[in-house]
Chain A
Amino acid sequence: SQQGEEDPQALSIQEGENATMNCSYKTSINNLQWYRQNSGRGLVHLILIRSNEREKHSGRLRVTLDTSKKSSSLLITASRAADTASYFCATDNAGNMLTFGGGTRLMVKP
């Protein structure tokens, strides 16, 4: 079973709009990571947020973490067509394994 679950499963927006994706998980975590996957490619790391952090920024990306609700969100501001991809959250819950969610497929229309 997957530790993280993304919501929505698919999202379609216009270029310039903001995109928000959510991730919920079940057990306590050490950290949570977000990855991007372009069609037919490997995953690329975007951002890592630790369990004692509440918010983190990287360029147009903003990630929040609410450990009381066991949830995280990824906000992409001023989206571009090049942001079209699948986005995955991944959690590390104190073992030696990283568990991925099912992903959100984002389409940004020019």
Chain B
Amino acid sequence: NAGVTQTPKFQVLKTGQSMTLQCAQDMNHEYMSWYRQDPGMGLRLIHYSVGAGITDQGEVPNGYNVSRSTTEDFPLRLLSAAPSQTSVYFCASSRTGGPRDEQFFGPGTRLTVL
């Protein structure tokens, strides 16, 4: 199993540009989530999904959209990038217990917005 994969690994955007961060898992996990991690800090939840077709907002959802059309994929869209969105983004997945289960994390996408 590849586990949780994220692309791209690095990205530089200009203010106002849009882009999609890709996340995929091959473990048939129902629960998937996106976090952002700012320097020297913990993770903050952006959006999560408890299964295909179901998404919900986390702690810091503004400026981001998600969709979950399949069990495997959970892309994160930045609608109009801002310098405040410069961060490292992590995708995670877990079994049916959702946050009550062990989370499997991807390697992260390092995003810089100029």
Contact = CB atoms under 8 A, between A and B. Distances in A.
Nearest to A4: B42
B59 A97 contact: yes
A100 B102 CA distance: 13
B75 interface: no
A107 B33 CA distance: 29
A68 interface: no
Contacts, number: 60
A98 B108 contact: no
B105 A97 contact: no
A38 to B, nearest CB: 11
Contact of A96 (B43, B50, B90, B103): B50
A30 B108 CA distance: 27
A96 B48 contact: yes
Given A43-B105, A92-B100, A98-B103, 15 more contacts: A4-B42, A31-B100, A33-B103, A41-B108, A42-B90, A42-B107, A88-B43, A90-B103, A95-B99, A96-B48, A96-B56, A96-B99, A97-B59, A100-B35, A100-B44
Interface of A: 2, 4, 30-31, 33, 35, 40-45, 48, 88, 90, 92, 95-103
Shortest beta-carbon contacts, A-B, top 5:
A42-B105, A98-B99, A100-B42, A92-B99, A100-B43
Interface of B: 4, 31, 33, 35, 41-45, 48, 50, 56, 58-59, 90, 92, 98-108
